[in-house]
Amino acid sequence: IAGITQAPTSQILAAGRRMTLRCTQDMRHNAMYWYRQDLGLGLRLIHYSNTAGTTGKGEVPDGYSVSRANTDDFPLTLASAVPSQTSVYFCASSDSKTGANVLTFGAGSRLTVL
Amino acid sequence: GQNIDQPTEMTATEGAIVQINCTYQTSGFNGLFWYQQHAGEAPTFLSYNVLDGLEEKGRFSSFLSRSKGYSYLLLKELQMKDSASYLCAVRDSNYQLIWGAGTKLIIKP
């Protein structure tokens, strides 16, 4: 089934630990994104990648890093987790060459940092 | 700053019509999107407006007025499955998406 796969679905981890959220898409979309969603706030962009080999910072990049070694994979790493990074994380992709550039989202990863 | 405003919560009755408004102030405009998000799930695309006017897609319609910085999503013949959050997002002059906090729609029988 075409789409985006995120892992893990949920995770609880201690502050200071390193964590990588995985994201894989099979739609051959050139652009990929990581958002966080917090209660009462709109989706906030953490990092994005317009094409394999390139990445860019979004609205809230501090404490997060990404890599885009190939078209399909776009992992998000928290080098040293802090409680304020407790959130639901959504990976998304799009074919940015099309006019509307509609985003397709993964099912999300719920992260709790204690 | 850039801002997207939409009501936090709305309640409507099954079978009725509901209009969810979205006003925006952004640096430039390159399209407005509506997404639906059921609780605990991913947002899914509903509609896209880049020119003024009404776009109709089945029971859902979306309207845009660029001069007023205003859009609405109209849902007709409401069904219980329409209970969800509806997210408004605007693409600005840098082609970045600015998201509203979402409107939680509660459908009552």
Reported confidence tier of residue B101, pLDDT bands at 50, 70, 90: very high
* Strand-pair partners of A80: none
B→A contacts (Cβ < 8 Å), by residue, are 4, 31, 33, 35, 41-45, 48, 50, 87, 89, 91, 95-102
Encoded amino acid at B53, one letter: G
pLDDT of residue A99: 73
A90 reaches B (C-beta below 8 A): yes
Torsion of CA A33, A38, A43, A49, to 10 degrees: -10
Q: Cis omega before residue A8 (within 30°)?
A: yes
> What is the model's pLDDT at position A107?
96
Are the Cβ atoms of A108 and B99 closer than 8 angstroms? no
Tell the burial category of A60 from Cβ atoms under 10 Å away from its Cβ (0-12, 13-18, 19+): middle
Q: What Å distances lie between residue B75 and A7, B60, B107, CA to CA?
A: 34, 5, 11
Alpha-carbon span B96 to B80, nearest angstrom: 33
Assess A64–B contact: CB distance below 8 Å, yes or no. Answer: no
- Which residues in B lie closer than 8 A to residue A107 (C-beta atoms)? 41-42
Q: Which tokens belong to A10?
A: 């949920």
Digit-by-digit pLDDT tens for chain A (114 residues) are 679 999 999 999 999 999 999 999 999 999 999 999 999 898 999 999 999 999 999 999 999 999 999 999 999 999 999 999 999 999 999 997 777 789 999 999 999 999
